[in-house]
Amino acid sequence: MKPDNKPSTQLIVNIAQQTLTLFQGHTEVYCYPISTAKNGIGSQQDSGCTPLGAHVIAQKIGGNEPIEAVFIGRVATGEIYNAALGAQFPERDWILSRILWLSGLKAGINKGSNSQGGCDTYQRYIYIHGTADSEPMGVPRSHGCVRMRNQDIIKLFAEVDEGTPVFIVDGVTSVGNFISTHE
């Protein structure tokens, strides 16, 4: 527990289940459907994969933007996503509403580099972010990020702070055991 006796907040991204769960202490508060990388699990630069392991929320971006605000390079464009905009720019990877930019904590795994090259979650621009409502959840479809419904990312954004731990697991690890060993 934190000194103020408030249970610690942490997020568990379960790739096998395609869920993101917000815990306060050992209590599950919310569980959201998500979409992780269509290329699977991995941490290498340009892999298009979702990295495993311990992370933190390094930056929260877009807190004052409207729902479905469009971001490019972490900057709101002034556009609001709709189907017509999606059809006009079908090649865009839609980053909408809010961004939680992740930073890895384990050198050579999700921070810095290793023998295969760069593996840094932050330098790879791996986020938890909103996406078009037409995109399916529960199915790996992203380019490495963790996609969420816009209403869900707005709700989550309000519940977390920069520095909140985020554990990305493959789903084989028991979440309860994972939390107990990482407090």
Q: What is the pLDDT along the chain (183 residues), one digit of tens a residue?
A: 445 556 799 999 999 999 999 999 999 999 999 999 999 999 999 999 999 999 999 999 999 999 999 999 999 999 999 999 999 999 999 999 999 999 999 999 999 999 999 999 999 999 999 999 999 999 999 999 999 999 999 999 999 999 999 999 998 655 555 554 455
Q: Are 87 and 32 in contact (CB under 8 A)?
A: no
Enclosing H/E stretch for 177: helix 175-181
- pLDDT for position 1: 44
Predicted pLDDT of residue 117 = 93
The CA dihedral of 136, 101, 62, 13, to the nearest 10 degrees, is 40
Q: Is 106 helix (H, G, I), strand (E, B) or coil?
A: coil
pLDDT at 171: 87
Q: What is the pLDDT of residue 178?
A: 53
As a whole number of Å, the CA-based R_g of the chain is: 16
pLDDT of amino acid 2:
46
Cβ count within 10 A of residue 155: 15
Identify each DSSP E strand in the chain by its residue range. Answer: 9-14, 19-24, 27-33, 53-61, 69-72, 75-80, 95-104, 113-114, 117-118, 127-130, 146-148, 165-169
Among 22, 1, 55, residue whose Cα is nearest residue 156: 22
The domain made up of 9-181 has a fold known as L,D-transpeptidase catalytic domain-like (2.40.440)
